[in-house]
Amino acid sequence: MPNKTSPSILPSIQSPELLRSLSMDALRDLAAEMRTAICEQVSRSGGHLAPNLGVVELSIAMHRVFDFAHDRLLFDVGHQCYPHKLLTGRYPLLSKLRQRDGMAGFPEPRESHYDLFSVGHAGTAISTAVGMARGDTLNGEGYSEANPNGRRVVSIIGDASIVNGVAMEGLNNAGTLKRQFLVILNDNGMSIAKPQGAMAAYFDRVRLSQTYGEFRKAAKELSKHMPGGKALADVYHRLGEMSKSFVSEDNWFEHFGLVTVGPVDGHDLPSLIDILNEAKHFDRPMVLHVKTIKGKGYKFAEGDSTTFHSPSPFSVVNDDGEELVSEGCRVELKKSARSFTSAFGDILGDLMTRDPKVVACTAAMPDGTGVSKVMNRFPDRVFDTGICESHALDMMAGLAKTGWKPFFAVYSTFLQRAFDQCFQEASLQGLPVRLCLDRAGFVGGDGAVHHGFCDIALLATLPKACLMAAMDEPSLRAAVEFMANFEDGLSAVRYPRDSVSGMFAGEACPPFALGKARALVKHADPQVALLGYGTSVIDAGEAAKELAAEGIHADLYDARFAKPVDIDLVASLVARGVPIVTIEDHSIRGGFGACVLEACNERGIDTRHITRLAMPDGWVYQGERKEQLAEVGLDAAAIAAKVREIVAKATSGSERSRAMPLA
């Protein structure tokens, strides 16, 4: 890391307007200041490091050339937006990156009018940009030769999200536009992990084989080799000599009707600015292929851009452990307690060792889901599809159809992209596809774009689906073992982005039995029963301890299943007059508590004394996970407070009943 110095240009930027008055040397100084500021902050708070270091010059060039207070800028995925935010006046928010009152880690319209969408999923930028381009044209506000002051549209897509199916659909439609439309492909040779598939191989071939001279030759010969030679004439007319040299022959994007320029050096500021100045006047859809280095400027991030894609806080130290900031020193990620992700990777590895029919898959998240722990051990049985959740789920269905036991490890928020495949190719066919849903519930600093809040609501609609949650590592292991032998249909287990708890580590964890809860704390005369789902059991356990010290007897159950619900347990508690509180880290709409109420309705069970605690019907933004739980009343203190309220109400009701004279 470079030595820490106080930035001189960055704090003065309140809008991109200042960029247009800076010299090229000053812009380079600004780029260095931005990299230092981003790296220093991410080292303290965690966040997306390597993707943002790679787009510093590109972000400066875009904001120098375009006026995105007027023009449209759409981000894909969005985790490469830190430089954009610094250039749009948000440097004061950087010190609280990913905290509630600081800078969000993704584009956030609540933060600035320069951010058009809250976005954290891949593949969306081109399609939303096409929509805005059409909308501006219909409003008479789109850029054209006849309306030179109209709005231009730019979408930036990178980290291999171009392979996403929605991006393909967007490209297909973008080619029909008859106006300015620029897609900037940030090609850094990486996604979150090593990119997968034929598209990645194609870009590797382009980067390695096509020299500057070949591009010049291709530009001259292009009209002889493809239909629409008029497009080439327009390129020569609209673009300068430099850009003509980069027009690519036999480019994949040409088949979508988009003229393609590049690849160009994404760290050469003068060239980027010149090319963008020419491209902004081109009045038909274009792809600008920009080659960048993920982690640019820091050898440790460039050399291991997967680890430093979104690292936890880290420090740079010398051999004596002294914290420094010099580039030649050792980088150490700050260690945290054992995570569910790490536990799952070990559990999956053990299962695959014992059962040769188990196969596993991830969609570009081998580290984020723990699947990286088994990729090298079982290279023929572990697959990374890239950012293609829909394809991954269908592929798992195909494997199930041929007799294998597929486990798809995916973030809860990204499972939404494959729900149609869960329905059509898995559940409808009765195939035992197994879903391991990491990042379920609140995710902390990534905020609303990544919360896993609707997996139960979606999957519970599927006939014969079996839905589970893990409260700790032993229960996660037991759930995975159960899934390995569950053949009746789709199954899923959810667990959060959090550390595993040792609260019940001293107790044997019984195997999962379909639709049966596990009793953890029982009293002869309980005043309330807490039915926790997933890690909410741990928070409920803390509350039960607090209540016990006050003389309040609270039974505690690990519900384990949202479908099928342990309705016999619920019926027994209701029959005994024990109030029930369901607790979950999922939306109150369609979650575990809703499943309990529905099951009661089917049995004709009185639900008046069932209270649901869950994520509210509203958006919760970035911050620490424990803060988010406290904010919505799902931490131990809030659970205990709700129980006191229920017990007090029940007690006063009993006293009133005893005081009433008999008829």
pLDDT tens by residue, 350-394: 999 999 999 999 998 999 999 999 999 999 999 999 888 999 999
Query: 567: domain CATH number?
Result: 3.40.50.920
Indicate if 276 and 187 belong to the same structural domain. yes
> What pTM was computed for the model?
0.80
160-186 average pLDDT score: 88
Give the separation between CA 188 and CA 166, rounded to whole angstroms.
20
Q: Is 417 a catalytic residue?
A: yes
Reported as a single tens digit per residue, the pLDDT across 240-276 is: 444 444 445 446 677 777 888 888 999 999 999 999 9
Q: Is residue 28 part of a domain?
A: no
Q: Does the pLDDT of residue 219 top 70, yes or no?
A: no
Indicate if 406 and 479 belong to the same structural domain. yes
Indicate if 252 and 364 belong to the same structural domain. no
Q: Is residue 330 part of a domain?
A: no
Q: How confident is the model at residue 138 (pLDDT cuts 50, 70, 90)?
A: very high
Indicate if 101 and 220 belong to the same structural domain. yes
Residue-number span of the structural domain to which 619 is assigned: 518-657
Q: Does the pLDDT of residue 409 top 90, yes or no?
A: yes
Q: Is residue 509 part of a domain?
A: no
List the catalytic residue out of 179, 417, 434, 477: 417
Indicate if 525 and 488 belong to the same structural domain. no
Q: Does the pLDDT of residue 190 top 90, yes or no?
A: no
Q: How confident is the model at residue 663 (pLDDT cuts 50, 70, 90)?
A: very low
Indicate if 380 and 233 belong to the same structural domain. no
Q: Which of 291, 320, 354 is the last residue of a domain?
A: 291
- Kindly list the distances between the CA atom of residue 287 and the CA atoms of 170, 181, 250, 262, 269, in Å, as whole numbers in the listed order: 13, 9, 14, 8, 18
Above pLDDT 90, what percent of the chain?
A: 70
Q: How confident is the model at residue 534 (pLDDT cuts 50, 70, 90)?
A: very high
Q: Does the pLDDT of residue 662 top 50, yes or no?
A: no
- pLDDT value of residue 23: 96
- pLDDT value of residue 263: 87
Indicate if 73 and 217 belong to the same structural domain. yes
Q: Is residue 30 part of a domain?
A: no
Give the separation between CA 568 and CA 186, rounded to whole angstroms.
55
Indicate if 254 and 287 belong to the same structural domain. yes
List the catalytic residue out of 90, 98, 294, 612: 294
Q: How confident is the model at residue 195 (pLDDT cuts 50, 70, 90)?
A: low
List the catalytic residue out of 33, 108, 111, 389: 389
Helix or strand (DSSP H, E) at 407: strand 405-411
Average of per-residue pLDDT values in the chain: 87
108-123 average pLDDT score: 91
Query: 213: domain CATH number?
Result: 3.40.50.970
Q: Is residue 483 part of a domain?
A: yes
- Of all residues in the chain, what percent are helix, strand and coil, respectively (each to 5)? 45, 15, 40
Q: Is residue 631 part of a domain?
A: yes
Q: How confident is the model at residue 520 (pLDDT cuts 50, 70, 90)?
A: very high
Give the 3-state secondary structure of residue 334. coil
Q: How confident is the model at residue 214 (pLDDT cuts 50, 70, 90)?
A: very low
- pLDDT value of residue 228: 40
Q: Is residue 323 part of a domain?
A: no
Indicate if 476 and 537 belong to the same structural domain. no
Indicate if 180 and 257 belong to the same structural domain. yes
Q: Which of 268, 291, 314 is the last residue of a domain?
A: 291
How many domains does the chain fold into?
3
Reported as a single tens digit per residue, the pLDDT across 58-103 is: 999 999 999 999 999 999 988 899 999 999 999 999 999 999 889 9
Indicate if 398 and 281 belong to the same structural domain. no
Indicate if 138 and 257 belong to the same structural domain. yes
Q: Is 507 a catalytic residue?
A: no
Above pLDDT 70, what percent of the chain?
A: 84
Q: Which of 291, 308, 329 is the last residue of a domain?
A: 291
Q: How many alpha carbons fall within 13 Å on the CB side of residue 486?
A: 28
Give the separation between CA 531 and CA 610, rounded to whole angstroms.
10
Give the separation between CA 121 and CA 123, rounded to whole angstroms.
7
Q: Is residue 310 part of a domain?
A: no
Name the DSSP class of 452: B
Reported as a single tens digit per residue, the pLDDT across 427-442 is: 999 999 999 999 999 9
Q: Is 522 a catalytic residue?
A: no
